[in-house]
Amino acid sequence: MNDFKTEKFLKKQRKPLRCIGWREWVSFPALGIDRIKAKVDTGARTSALHAFSLEPFKEGNQEKIRFAIHPLQNNVTEVVTCVADVIDKRFITDSGGHREERYVIQTQIVLASRSWPIEITLTERDSMLFRMLLGRSAIRKRYLVNPARSFIKTKMK
């Protein structure tokens, strides 16, 4: 966007957008995840949670998925088991150009005392440095990202 379009867009906003850093602590109360460090990835459209032991199942007519995560970096002893409704299955191309079909869930995210629903894809990539990637769709019209800062809205725990 050129400066004029950016200025026009920002004037249309009801409230000024808050700023977040390139990484922030988030939580997913409905999944039982009290805290997980998220890399804010504006290059990714959809958010991704690095999950393992994915077990799809049906409950009535609703497709669900049970999965586990290690919410903290460099800690494989803490495991959180989650259950969520599957809202879709999509082919996602990662930053390395690899294409895979992923389960998509929707859940509430909490960031800096604000909560809203986001879509998250699940993928078995436990070796990744960040267990959570917060994509641009999740923060659209809510936050601006300052790539020079970390943990602007959330204290490191």
pLDDT of residue 1: 47
Q: In this structure, is residue 46 part of a structural domain?
A: yes
Q: In this structure, is residue 77 part of a structural domain?
A: yes
Q: In this structure, is residue 49 part of a structural domain?
A: yes
Burial-class residue 113 by CB neighbours within 10 Å (0-12, 13-18, 19+): exposed
Confidence of residue 90 (pLDDT cuts 50, 70, 90): very high
Q: In this structure, is residue 119 part of a structural domain?
A: yes
Q: In this structure, is residue 48 part of a structural domain?
A: yes
Across 12-26, 55-69, 93-107, which has the greatest mean pLDDT?
55-69
What total number of domains does the chain contain? Answer: 1
Is 7's pLDDT higher than 80?
no
Confidence of residue 47 (pLDDT cuts 50, 70, 90): very high
Query: At a CB cut-off of 8 Å and minimum separation 6, what does 126 contact?
Result: 50, 52, 70, 76
Lowest mean per-residue pLDDT among 16-25, 98-107, 147-156: 147-156
Domain of 129, in residue numbers: 28-146
pLDDT of residue 155: 65
pLDDT-above-90 percentage for the chain: 61
Instruction: Count CB neighbours of 119 within 10 A.
Output: 17
pLDDT of residue 79: 93
Q: Is 47:36 a contact under the CB 8 Å cutoff?
A: no
Q: In this structure, is residue 20 part of a structural domain?
A: no
Is 133's pLDDT higher than 90?
yes
Q: In this structure, is residue 54 part of a structural domain?
A: yes
Average pLDDT rounded to a whole number, residues 14-39: 91
Q: In this structure, is residue 10 part of a structural domain?
A: no
CATH code of the domain in which 135 resides: 2.40.70.10
Residue 139 Cα distances to 69, 74, 147, angstroms: 23, 26, 14
Average pLDDT rounded to a whole number, residues 73-100: 89
pLDDT of residue 49: 95
For residue 33 the two structure tokens come to: 């995840």
Q: Is the dihedral of CA 29, 148, 39, 156 positive or negative?
A: negative
